[in-house]
């Protein structure tokens, strides 16, 4: 736990510093977009998930289920490198918001932010890859990709997806998340350090 902000080493800027006015304008625009994007994204995903829970067939295909799991990564971690994680873990402390909380959490905060920051890139890449594979299978194997409807014992209507069955869909979920979560664990063994910037904000970094 750090009690004095000024006891932290100052962050070293390599090269010419950015124009502060330009930096402030860009960050304000980005934050404004974030404030609109996050609620709207949650709104869309909520209704998509609600439709799946109600059994709306057109929105309950494996593709849309994979979209929901991808949205989890987007909202919690990504969007230009994260939605929540980026602002809670990097931008707010950089601006000097809630500095006492970040100083109190110290190493726990630094490790948590850096873990998810590194994990997010891999998870996002895997989510996009799985979604692309789903779309590719729809093009190459259209007859095996779309759902098949038949009557079992001439009484029960059964619908299933030949390629993206429930069991295989669980494997797809694991591919989306597990590689990134496991790779990110490597960051937990590195030492971290909080730095103070010119705005009296906090920046977490790995210690060299």
**Distance from C-alpha of 77 to C-alpha of 119, rounded to nearest angstrom:** 8
> Residue 144 pLDDT > 80, yes or no?
no
Cβ atoms of 112 and 187 closer than 8 Å: no
What CATH number is associated with residue 147? 1.20.1070.10
Q: Is 15 inside a domain boundary?
A: no
Q: Quick check: pTM over 0.85?
A: no
Q: Is 139 inside a domain boundary?
A: yes
Number of domains comprising the chain: 1
Determine the distance from the C-alpha atom of residue 148 to the mean position of all C-alpha atoms in its chain, rounded to a whole number.
34
Q: Is 168 inside a domain boundary?
A: yes
Can you tell me whether residue 150 is helix, strand or coil?
strand
Q: Is 159 inside a domain boundary?
A: yes
- Which strand (E) or helix (H) includes residue 195? strand 192-196
Instruction: Work out the pLDDT band at 110, boundaries 50, 70, 90.
Output: very high
Cβ atoms of 62 and 138 closer than 8 Å: no
pLDDT recorded at residue 80: 41
Give the domain range for residue 114. Answer: 22-206
Cβ atoms of 199 and 96 closer than 8 Å: yes
Q: Is 72 inside a domain boundary?
A: yes
The CA radius of gyration of the chain, in Å to the nearest whole number, is 22
The residue written with tokens 């601006």 in the block is: 95
């Amino acid at each position: 736990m750090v009690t004095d902000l000024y006891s932290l080493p100052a962050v070293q800027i390599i090269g010419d510093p950015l124009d502060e006015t330009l930096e402030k304008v860009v960050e304000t625009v980005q934050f404004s977009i974030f404030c609109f994007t996050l609620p709207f994204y949650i709104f869309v995903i909520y209704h998509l998930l609600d439709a799946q829970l109600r059994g709306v067939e057109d929105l309950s295909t494996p593709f849309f289920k994979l979209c929901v799991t991808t949205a989890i990564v987007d909202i919690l971690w990504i969007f230009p490198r994260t939605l929540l994680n980026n602002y809670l873990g990097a931008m707010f402390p950089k601006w000097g918001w809630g500095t006492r909380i970040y100083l109190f959490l110290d190493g726990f905060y630094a490790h948590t932010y850096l873990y998810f920051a590194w994990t997010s890139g891999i998870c996002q890449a895997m989510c996009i890859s799985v979604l692309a594979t789903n779309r590719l299978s729809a093009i190459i194997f259209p007859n095996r990709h779309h759902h098949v409807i038949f009557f079992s014992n001439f009484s029960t209507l059964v619908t299933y997806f030949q390629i993206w069955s429930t069991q295989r869909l669980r494997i797809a979920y694991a591919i989306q998340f597990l590689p990134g979560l496991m790779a990110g664990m490597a960051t937990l063994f590195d030492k971290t350090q909080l730095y103070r910037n010119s705005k009296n904000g906090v920046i977490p970094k790995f210690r060299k």
